[in-house]
Structure 1
Amino acid sequence: MLLIHGICPATRDKLLHRAIGPEDGFPPESIWLDLLNPTAGEDARVEKHLGISIPTREEMHDLEPSEIIYTENGAHYMTARIICQSETIVPKLADVTFILTEKALVTVRYDEPGAFNIFLNRATKPGGCGTQPEAVLDGLIEAIVDRAAEVLRGVGDQVDEASRRIFAGRGQDVEQGSAYQAVIQKIGQYEHIISNVRESMVSVERVLLFLSANYTRPKKAQTGFSAEWRAAVRDVQAIEEHATFLSNKLQFMLDATLGLVSIEQNKIIKLFSVVSVALMPPTLIASIYGMNFKTMPELEWQWGYPMAIGLMILFAVLPYMLFRWKKWL
């Protein structure tokens, strides 16, 4: 699908967007060409219109590190990994290529990150976007960063809730079910989201650093965006630091959860050990008087059986009382 986003001719303070058919021409006020799951024909049309080459899906996926960001024939090619399907349990990263030219910004994507819809909602309102391709790119990057911060904030709230559940939980929950197993599974899901956010922000930071250092403002442009891009770099770095903090917190939670599981297991083992020790003397007494020797003086005693039972009870209670006195139970 080929989406055209152009400046509103009447007010020139917002973007209008529509899809164009195979026979439609490019409006002169178009400053953003958005290729969503493009066909070969749509790629060819944009290439002919702007005099650039459009990477295919396979080329975007198989890019070498040196080919992620480069300049060719006056056009700046930048590929970033953007958080996609963030509302699901396991979000994924989508490769998006930004091609910045003097005439328009071209985006090539095969997924629909939520940041694009966020930016479109802003850009279609008065004053929501500038009238230059650089302004569109700046707005898109801002939406991507805001979306990543929102996802990270949501994960942080869920991590806090999981932390309260871990440290305020009761021991019997572990014995009755898989409470800690569910927590460990959640920790893995949160770590996956955080690592995706961090990876996305690293790729966006590379784009911003490239633009800040290498992009030259066109002569027709009224203002530059170097200051905005440098500020965005600081925002990205702040998100990366927050992601690192949450990752460390998850590691602590994982260690604490595994420690609590070990404590519960040790309680069970200790109980078995106490029972074994308490039953050893009665077992010894029962073994002695269970022998089938012909000559055993106690066999003729009238109170032999009650005596043996009493000894077994006595020597079962004594270890238990000793453990209680030592505070081992």
Structure 2
Amino acid sequence: MSEARIHCHAAGGLIDARLAQAGWLRLNAQQGESLAAAQRLHRLNLSWERGRAATQEGDFIVIPVELVLLQDEAFRETVVLFALGKERLISVEQGPRLHALDQAGEQLLASMGDGCALDPCTAMFCMLDALNDAAHASLRDIAARLDERSDAVAAASGGFDTAKRQAGVADIASTAMALGEAEELVAKAVEGQLMLARAGRWLRRAAGDAHWGPRLPVLLSDIHSLRRYARFQHDKIRNLQQSLMTTLDIKQNQVIKVFTVVTAVFTPPTLVAAFYGQNFAYMPELALPWGEWMVMGLTGLFALVPLAYIKRKGWMR
């Protein structure tokens, strides 16, 4: 079975068929029969169990790339396995078809003439460029969501939200969980940029610098710049998480302080009540007409003395 027929049977698209005839065989991990046929034809291991290392198998360089992309309004972890040969480029996607590779295929067809062969290095360059643009769009969306979370963190740190309701531990916990999910996405985005940069270096090794001129170095520079931007977002998330944890500690200390003040105020009256709860045979103040008022006044005084001391020390601020 020829590669063009394999791809036509797998994808059923005219664009994919033309690309397969030109030199780019695009497959999906769910197309088991077509994938197995391509592996037998080129003697390659294109399974996901092969690991994350880039290896050279025969005339092909097999390079896996893992990315987190925003597609259909949802973040998806996807893996694209590239097999770069001298006359053929094979890509295997895991999960739904990537819109970024669809756009790269349309650009390649628009730049090609009818019946022209496709340079595998040029095709891989276009795909890496499209994947880097998609990763950039994903990070911009994550950054926008982080700005919204920053307002929530500021409200929690301030103690009150716009409705003048005190932000409690549950509010802080939900914000912390959302920040944890964002941190995981950004960490995987950083790793994806590292794998894109590795694929670019392998491409430069296969094609040579003279083949590209300034285009590939510019792409590698963009990939590294986006990786630094992703790390900046990761540091931003860490700062927000630290702010939340500090706020949570402060709120816990406030709760303990309230209980401490209440205990200090009510301990002397409790002690007085304990004395008068005992059954003594003779209590002289009971014979005084103002004895009850004296005991009540002293009890109030004993309650105010520790409260005044606490306020003077500034422990209630």
TM over 0.5: yes
Match of 1:318 in 2: 305
Q: What is residue 229 of structure 2 aligned with on the other side?
A: 242
Query: What corresponds to 1:70 in structure 2?
Result: 56
The Cα offsets for residues 137-173 of structure 1, whole Å up to 9 and x where unpaired, read as 1110001111111111211121222122212344255
CA contact (8 A) 1:33 1:107 kept: yes
Structure 2 distance, partners of 1:119, 1:139, is 6
Q: Aligned to 1:304, which of 278, 291, 306? A: 291
Residue 180 of structure 2 corresponds to: 188
Report the counterpart of residue 43 of structure 2 in structure 1: 53
Q: Which residue in 1 is equivalent to 2:239?
A: 252
Separation in 2 of the partners of 1:306 and 1:2? 101
Q: What SS does the corresponding residue of 2:68 show, helix, strand or coil?
A: strand
Could you say if the C-alpha distance between residues 69 and 308 of structure 1 is closer, same or farther in structure 2, counting changes exceeding 3 Å?
A: same
Q: CA deviation at 1:76?
A: 2.6
Kept in 2: contact 1:69–1:79 (CA 8 A)? no
Go from structure 1 to structure 2 and tell me whether the alpha carbon gap of 1:210 and 1:41 turns closer, same or farther (over 3 Å shift): closer
Aligned letter for 1:212?
Answer: R
For 2:20 and 2:251, locate their aligned partners in 1 and report how far apart those are by CA, in whole Å: 71
- Of stretches 206-215 and 264-273 in structure 1, the one that deviates more from structure 2 is 206-215
Which among 68, 74, 81 is matched to residue 83 of structure 1?
68
Structure 1: stretches of 5+ with no match in the other structure? 5-14, 20-25, 218-222
User: What per-residue deviation string (whole Å, max 9, x for no partner) do you get for residues 112-150 of structure 1?
Assistant: 3343234245445568xx952222111100011111111
1:23 aligned partner: none
Matched, 1:274 2:261: yes
Query: Partner of 2:104 in structure 1?
Result: 119
Overall identity of the aligned pairs, in %? 22
Q: Distance in 2 between matches of 1:98 and 1:28?
A: 14
Which residue is equivalent to 2:196? 204
Distance apart, 1:90 and its partner CA:
6.0
RMSD: 3.1
Deviations 1:2-34 (A, max 9, x none): 546xxxxxxxxxx96145xxxxxx889522111
What letter is aligned with 1:63? Answer: G
Moved over 6 A (4+): none
Q: 1:62 to 1:77 in 2, by over 3 A?
A: closer
Alpha-carbon contact 2:100-2:131 (below 8 Å) kept: yes
1:99 to 58, 69, 83: 83
More helix by percentage:
2
CA 1:122–1:313 in 2, change beyond 3 Å: closer, same or farther? farther
Change (3 A) 1:135 1:16: farther
Structure 2 spans left out of the alignment, 5+ residues: none
Contact residue 7 and residue 20 of structure 2 kept, 8 A: no
Task: Please say if residues 43 and 54 of structure 1, whose CA atoms lie closer than 8 Å, have aligned partners that are also in contact.
Answer: no
Aligned residue pairs total: 298
CA contact (8 A) 2:23 2:119 kept: yes
Instruction: Give the conservation status (yes or no) of the 8 Å contact 1:16–1:124.
Output: no
Do the aligned residues in 1 keep the contact of 2:15 with 2:106 (CA within 8 Å)? no
**Equivalent-residue separation in structure 1 for 2:213 and 2:123 (angstroms):** 14
Deviates more, 1:200-209 or 1:80-89: 80-89
Partner of 2:15: 17
Among 34, 40, 43, the alignment partner of 2:33 is 40
**Could you report, residue by residue, the CA deviation over 1:213-269 in whole angstroms, capped at 9, with x for unpaired residues?**
34359xxxxx82363222222111112211221111211111110110111111111
How has the CA–CA distance of structure 1 residues 320 and 124 changed in structure 2, closer, same or farther, with 3 Å as cutoff?
farther
Are 2:68 and 2:188, in contact at CA under 8 Å, matched by a contact in 1? yes
Secondary structure in structure 2 of the residue aligned to 1:17: helix
Q: Which moved more, 1:259-268 or 1:170-179?
A: 170-179
CA distance in 2, matches of 1:175, 1:76: 55
Provide TM-score, normalisation by structure 2. Answer: 0.81
**Other structure's SS at 2:128 match:** helix
TM-score, normalisation: structure 1:
0.79
Letter in 1 for 2:92: V
